[in-house]
Amino acid sequence: MKSGPSMTPDVIKPSLTIRLCGPRGFCAGVDRAIQIVVLALKAYGAPVYVRHEIVHNRYVVEGLEAKGAVFVEELDEIPAEHRAQPVVFSAHGVPKSVPADATARNLFYLDATCPLVSKVHKQAMRHQRLGRHVILIGHAGHPEVIGTMGQLPEGSVSLVETVEDASVWEPPVDPDNLGFVTQTTLSVDDTAGVIARLQERFPALQAPAADSICYATTNRQEAVKQAAPGCDLFIVVGAPNSSNSKRLVEVALKAGAKRSLLVQRASELDWDEIGTIGTLGLSAGASAPEVIVDEIIAAFKERFDATVDLAITTEENEHFLVNRELRSLELTVADMAFVNGDQAPPPRV
Ligand code: SF4
């Protein structure tokens, strides 16, 4: 942790209000994906292989590694002698070629794709089945985008990232025969701009049956929007490769926070740069564990006379079932303590 305001106990600490956003942190899809790896370790023993980061958070990955998970980039990294051990696919989803490859290699896989990502896959496939060229609004190179594009035959899907892209993109087919879906973790407001531009150019453009941006992304952005005005600083707990966390940083700035930072651990906080502040906004991306939020609050309480005000915009009650093979296993508070602290895991309905 870097230096800054004094930690000496007899110095009067400056007062600070922390606006703690709710909802924040783990969404139902991330929670489910982590549970799948934890339960697979219980059921089959170590090692359990995981293709890509299960969710975009280093702390989560290291916590699972400590329990016996082994992260690989591709299936050919799994040693032949471990082929009977399960391999888990990440919450972001995978192209169709990945489960096909796993089957061809005789691997036992557990798919941790978030059900809301799978829903976007189905919506994209529906457009394609109806003969439409699919526009995917999202960020190039993101695993979810790779997974969604990989549901469709080559040439039947185009990626559009920005309003500028939407203004110049030329359809390879009849412009009256287009449908769109989006990545689940985009900025709600920016995406509305991209869709509006596409609809302006292609009035027959077909929307998906339901919004692709998921409830967790929408709720976390709305909570930040409400809490950010008047904040001297807004901190989002999350990883630099987490799309939804980066969007929260942008939303905080747009909504009126003077400064906004993405932070992975309290040890990254630069207290000289933070300086003396009166109001701190605090949220966490959908892949950021609550134990890190607690760690950040504790670090501020060491240096400030801090009061935590909850800024809750809505309650969330979404929970997703784990894979059938794992449902009968017990998941304890201790199993998930590395990310949730002493909070009970959500009900497994
Ligand atoms: S952010 Fe949304 S789509 Fe992504 S894992 Fe969470 S609930 Fe699922």
Domain that holds residue 182: 116-201
Q: Is residue 349 part of a domain?
A: no
**What are the residues whose beta carbons fall under 8 Å from the beta carbon of 99, sequence distance 6 or more?**
89, 109, 111
Domain check: are 308 and 329 in the same one? no
Task: Tell me the CATH number at 197.
Answer: 3.40.1010.20
Q: Ligand 1 centroid vs 185 CA: distance in angstroms? A: 7
Which residues participate in catalysis according to the annotation? 144
Residue 333 covered by a domain: yes
pLDDT of residue 118: 97
Evaluate whether residue 4 is within a structural domain. no
Q: How many domains does the chain have?
A: 3
Query: Based on the domain organization, do 105 and 124 belong to the same domain?
Result: no
Q: Looking at the structure, tell me whether residues 271 and 249 fall in a common domain.
A: yes
Per-residue pLDDT of the chain (349 residues; tens, 9 = 90+): 555 555 555 679 999 999 999 999 999 999 999 999 999 999 999 999 999 999 999 999 999 999 999 999 999 999 999 999 999 999 999 999 999 999 999 999 999 999 999 999 999 999 999 999 999 999 999 999 999 999 999 999 999 999 999 999 999 999 999 999 999 999 999 999 999 999 999 999 999 988 899 999 999 999 999 999 999 999 999 999 999 999 999 999 999 999 999 999 999 999 999 999 999 999 999 999 999 999 999 999 999 999 999 999 999 999 999 999 999 999 999 999 999 988 765 554 4
Q: In what order do the strands lie in the sheet with 178-182?
A: 157-160, 133-137, 178-182
- Measured from the Cα of 244, ligand 1's closest atom is 1
Mark whether 221 and 306 lie in a shared domain.
Answer: yes
Mutate to test the pocket of ligand 1, among 116, 120, 121, 318 (most ligand atoms within 8 A of CB): 116
217 CB less than 6 Å from ligand 1? yes
**Residue 96 maps to a domain:** yes
CA of 31 to the centre of ligand 1 (A): 9
Looking at ligand 1, which residue's alpha carbon is closest to its atom 7? 29
Would 1 be classed as within a structural domain? no
CB 92, CB 113: distance < 8 Å: yes
Whether 305 and 225 map to the same domain: the answer is: yes
Same domain, 194 and 264: no
Instruction: Say what the pLDDT of residue 2 is.
Output: 52
pLDDT at 9: 58
- Position 209 scores a pLDDT of 87
Q: For residue 149, tell me if it sits in a domain.
A: yes
Query: Do residues 37 and 126 share a domain?
Result: no
116 CB within 6 A, ligand 1: yes
Residue 6 included in any domain? no
- Residues 164 and 232 placed together within one structural domain of the fold: no
